[in-house]
Amino acid sequence: MVPNRTCALCHTSKPILRRPKTGQQLCKPCFFYVFETEVHETIIGTNLFQQGEKVAIGASGGKDSTVLAHVLTVLNERYGYGLQLHLLSIDEGITGYRDDSLKSVKRNQQEYGLPLKILGYDELYGWTMDRVVEQIGRKNNCTFCGVFRRQALDRGAASLDADHIVTGHNADDTAETVLMNILRGDIARLGRCTAICTKGEDSIKRSKPFKYAYEKEIVMYAYFKKLDYFSTECLYAPDAYRGHARVFLKDLEAARPSAIIDIIHSGEAFQVAQDVELKPQQFCQRCGYMASNELCKACTLLESLEKGMGKLAVGDRNRRKLDDEPMPQGMRTIPMFQRSATTDSASPL
C-alpha cells in the first residue's frame, strides 16, 4: 500500500492499515473507533439488547468470539447498556483442539473479569466428539457437532438463567450461509439466516452482533489489540460444503470487497413465498427441546450413536432403519430441558 500521509478519519496521525471493508487508510485508534462504533450502531439500530439483560457470550476461544467478548465489554461500559455479560463455552471433547482453545477462554475470563461456565458434550450427551468420530469416522461428524452445540449453548444459557446468547458469527459467515442455502435450495433457512436475532417459541434469544463485521477486520482488531485467542482449525476437518462457499466468497471479495455485504443485503431481501410450507415447531417428546419432528435432532443423533448406527447420520430417510433397531439397555438420553425466565417486559437500550 502507498500510504496517504494522514489517516482518512482524523487527518492527523499516520495511517497503518487499509480497511478491508472500505479501502480507507486509517491509524490504529481510528480503526478501533470505527470498528467498535459500527458494532454499537448495529446493536442500537436493531434494538438487540434490553437494559439489564443477562447475556451469555458463546466463547470458543477463537478470534471471533474473543473479539466479541472484548468489544461487548467495551461497549457495555462506554454506552451504559447495563448488560450482565457471561462467558459460556461448550467443550465438545476434541483432544488437542478444544482443550487448548479453552485455555485462551480462561485467560480472557481473568482479563475481563467475566464469569465463565463450561458445559461438556460428555456431561450432557455422554459422548465426546472424539468418541463420536471413533464410531462414525470424519465424514458427517460436523452434523453431530453442530446439532449438539446448538442445544448445548441453549442448555448452558438456560442454566445461567440468561436471556440472550450472542455468538461471533461475522459478515463472511452470514454471506456464506446465504450462498449455501441458495445452493441447497433450503428456502426455510434462507428466509431466516440473515436475521440478526432469532427466537424460537419459548427459546432463548440468539443473536450475531458481528453480522456486518468483516472477518478480515475482526482479525485486524484482534491483532492490533493483541488479544489472546486460539487460531487452529478443528482437527476433524471443517464442513466441506461450506468450504466451497467460502472459497467462492473470498474470490468475490477479492474482486469487489462489498460483495460480502451485498450478499447479506440480498439475503435480507428474500421473502419466503406464502405457498412454501414450513414445518411447524413442536417440543421433543423425549427431552422437551424445540423440534420439528417428534424427536429433536440431538435426541435422534444420540439414539443413533447409542445403537451403534451413527454412520447413518440420521436424516428423515434413515429414521425407519433406526426405529427398527431395539433400544439398547440403559440407553443414554438427554435430560429434560429447563427453560429460563424471560425478561420480555424489560425496556430496550
Ligand X SMILES: Nc1ncnc2c1ncn2[C@@H]1O[C@H](COP(=O)(O)OP(=O)(O)OP(=O)(O)O)[C@@H](O)[C@H]1O
Name the residues that contact ligand X, by CB under 6 A: 58-60, 62-65, 88-90, 92, 149, 167-169, 173
Residue 150 or 286 with smaller CB distance to ligand X: 150
Q: Burial level of 68, CB count in 10 A (0-12/13-18/19+)?
A: buried
User: Is residue 157 part of an annotated ligand binding site?
Assistant: no
User: Is residue 324 part of an annotated ligand binding site?
Assistant: no
Instruction: Identify the three-state secondary structure at position 166.
Output: strand
User: Nearest distance from residue 17's CB to ligand X, in Å?
Assistant: 20
- Give the span between the Cα atoms of 139 and 259, in whole angstroms: 31
- Give the span between the Cα atoms of 195 and 182, in whole angstroms: 16
Residue 156 or 310 with smaller CB distance to ligand X: 156
Residue 30 or 125 with smaller CB distance to ligand X: 125
User: Is residue 100 part of an annotated ligand binding site?
Assistant: no
Do the beta carbons of residue 340 and residue 161 sit within 8 Å? yes
User: Is residue 80 part of an annotated ligand binding site?
Assistant: no
Calculate the CA 193 to chain-centre distance: 12
User: Nearest distance from residue 300's CB to ligand X, in Å?
Assistant: 21
User: Nearest distance from residue 286's CB to ligand X, in Å?
Assistant: 24
User: Nearest distance from residue 89's CB to ligand X, in Å?
Assistant: 4
Side-chain-side CA neighbours of 131 within 13 Å: the count stands at: 12
User: Nearest distance from residue 2's CB to ligand X, in Å?
Assistant: 32
Select the residue whose beta carbon is closest to ligand X and give its number.
62
Residue 164 or 286 with smaller CB distance to ligand X: 164
Do the beta carbons of residue 27 and residue 19 sit within 8 Å? no
User: Is residue 90 part of an annotated ligand binding site?
Assistant: yes
User: From its phi and psi, is residue 318 left (phi > 0), alpha (psi between -120 and 50) or beta?
Assistant: alpha
What does DSSP say about strands 197-198 and 205-207: parallel, antiparallel, or unpaired? antiparallel
Residues 6+ apart with CB under 8 A from 257: 20, 21, 22, 23
Residue 92 or 303 with smaller CB distance to ligand X: 92
Known binding-site residues equal 58-60, 64, 90, 168, 173
- Residue ranges at the known binding site for ATP: 58-60, 64, 90, 168, 173
